[in-house]
Structure 1
C-alpha cells in the first residue's frame, strides 16, 4: 500500500504594510503609517484654514494680494494690525444675515425633500432581489459619474420656458402658458435634490438592507398593520441612515454655489454666492475670509450633533 500523499502546505497569511515594514526593521515605520493621515489633514486642512483665518483679521488693501499684513515693522517698531471689523460686519450687514438665513433655509428644505424622495427609493431597492438590487443601485450612482456642471446645466434645458417640462405640460393641456421655474428658488431646490439624492439613498440603503425581515413577520403575526410595523420597527431601526444621509446632504448644500448661481437666479441668495462675490468681484479677501470662517463654524454645529448622536448610539449598544 502506497503512503498517502502529503497535504500541500497552507499559504502564509498576507501581511499588512505595517508588518512588512516592521520585518525590515525600518526605523519609525509604525509612526510613519500612523502620521500619514494627520499629515494629510495638516497640509490640506489645517494650514489653509490658518491662512484664511489670518486674512480674516486683516484689512482690505489695494495691493497684491489685496489685504494688509498683520505685523508691520516700521522704524524699528513691530506693531500688530488686528481688526474685528470683518466679523462685526457679518452681524451688522443685512446682506450677510439674509445670505446665512437663506442658506440654512434652502439647505434644510432641500434635505427634507431629499429624505422624502430618497427613503422610499432606498426602501424599495433594499427589498429587491440581489441582482435587481445591484442594477438599481447602479442607476442611482450612475449620474454621479458625469460632471457636476453638466448635470446642473442639463436642468436649464428642462426648466426653461421653452424647455422639455413646459412643452410637455402645454402638449398635455395642463397649462395654458409656460411656467416660470428657471431662475427661481424652486429651480434651486430641484437642482439640489437631484444632485445630492445619491448621498441620501446610499446610507439609507445600507441601513435598510441589513434589517431582519423576521421582525416584520413577527409583528404581522401579532396583528400589527403594515404602517404600524413600519413606524415601530423599520423607521426606528433606519434612524442611523436617516441621520447620516441628512448630514451628507445638509452640510454641502449650505455652502452650495453652482446650483443657486446657474438655476436659482438673483432671488436665491446663499452664502456661497456672497463668498464668491467678495473674493472675485469686490476683491475684499478679508471680508470673504471672515464669511468662510463663519460658515465653517456654522457647519460644525450639525457635525458636533452627529458625533454626539453616534456616541449615544455606541453607549446604548454597549449597555
Structure 2
C-alpha cells in the first residue's frame, strides 16, 4: 500500500497533462461553436487531404532515410571498442544539447541561396562545371524552401532517436547466440540476416515510432525550411488554434484523426515486428 502512494504524483501528473488534454480534444472534435454535438468538423476535412498527404509522405521518407543511415551506424558502433562508442554517442547527442529552433535556423543559413553550401560549391568551381556540362546558367542551387529541405531537417533532428534504440538492442544481443549460429555453419551474411536483424527489430520499431510521430506532426521545420510552401498537419492544426482562422473544434478533429491514423500504423508495425521476432526465435 505504501508503494502505491509513491505513484500518486505520477498518476496526478498524467491525469492533468495527458488524459485531460486528450479528453478536451475529443470533446472539441465532436462539438460545434455552440457546444452541440456534430460531425461537421470531420466532414469538412476533405479540403485538407493535401496536408495529410504531405505530412505522411514526408514523414515516411524521413523515417526511411533515418533507418538507412541509423541502422548501419548503430550496427557498426555495436562492434567498436568502448572508447569509440563513447565518443560516437557524444557526437550523436551533441546537437541535441542545442535548442531545436537554433539547429533549424543554422540549417537555414547553410541551405540558403547565398549560404555556406552554395558558397563552397561556387568557390571550388562546381557550379561553373555544372553549367558547362548541362548548359545551364545557375548562380546557385536552390535548396531552401523546398520539401527536400524539410526532409533534411527531419532527418537531422530525429536521427539520434533512430540510432540509440537500435544500438541498445544490438548491443544486448548475447554473443553466444551469434557463436552458435557460426558453429552451425552460418557465414557473416547469414548471421546478420537470420539472427542479428530479426533480434534487432524491436529497436527498429522503437526508432520508427520515435522518428515518425514527431515528423508527421512537426510544424516549425515546414515553416522555416519549407518557407510555408508545403502545408503539413502541424501547420494546419496550429492555424486552427492560433491563426486568423481560429477554429479549435476543427483543429481538434484534425488532431484526433491524425492520432488515430498514427496509432493504427504503429499497431500494424508492432504486429509485424512480433511475427518477425517469433520467426527468429523458431
Q: TM-score, normalised by structure 1?
A: 0.76
1:224: Cα distance to partner? 5.0
Q: What residue is the counterpart of 1:168 in the other structure?
A: 120
Distance in 2 of aligned mates of 1:311 and 1:38: 30
Residue 123 of structure 1 contacts residue 208 of structure 1 at CA under 8 Å; is this kept in 2? yes
Matched position secondary structure for 1:238? helix
Which runs of no fewer than 5 residues in structure 1 stay unpaired?
Answer: 1-27, 60-66, 71-80
Residues paired across the two proteins, number: 271
Distance in 2 of aligned mates of 1:244 and 1:126: 17
Residue 146 of structure 2 contacts residue 226 of structure 2 at CA under 8 Å; is this kept in 1? yes
Residue 279 of structure 1 contacts residue 285 of structure 1 at CA under 8 Å; is this kept in 2? yes
1:220: Cα distance to partner? 5.9
Q: What residue is the counterpart of 1:227 in the other structure?
A: 189
Higher relative contact order (CA 8 A, sep 6+): 2
1:152: Cα distance to partner? 0.8
1:180: Cα distance to partner? 0.8
Confirm whether residue 46 of structure 1 aligns to residue 32 of structure 2.
Answer: no
Residue 247 of structure 1 contacts residue 302 of structure 1 at CA under 8 Å; is this kept in 2? no
| 1:224/1:255 CA distance change after superposition, 3 Å | same
| 1:274/1:213 CA distance change after superposition, 3 Å | same
| 1:3-36 deviations in Å (ceiling 9; x for gaps) | xxxxxxxxxxxxxxxxxxxxxxxxx534323444
Confirm whether residue 304 of structure 1 aligns to residue 267 of structure 2.
Answer: yes
Which runs of no fewer than 5 residues in structure 2 stay unpaired?
Answer: 129-137
Structure 2 matches for 1:24-39, cutoff 5 A?
A: 29-39=2-12
1:308: Cα distance to partner? 4.2
Higher helix proportion (structure 1 or 2): 2
Confirm whether residue 256 of structure 1 aligns to residue 218 of structure 2.
Answer: yes
- Mean alpha-carbon deviation: is it higher for 163-172 or for 109-118? 163-172
Query: What RMSD in Å do the two structures reach over aligned CA positions?
Result: 2.6
1:299: Cα distance to partner? 2.0
Structure 1 or 2, whichever has the larger Rg, is: 1
Q: What residue is the counterpart of 2:204 in the other structure?
A: 242
Confirm whether residue 85 of structure 1 aligns to residue 40 of structure 2.
Answer: yes
200, 206, 223: which one pairs with 2:168?
A: 206
Q: TM-score, normalised by structure 2?
A: 0.86
Q: What residue is the counterpart of 2:258 in the other structure?
A: 295
Q: What residue is the counterpart of 2:146 in the other structure?
A: 184
1:310: Cα distance to partner? 7.0
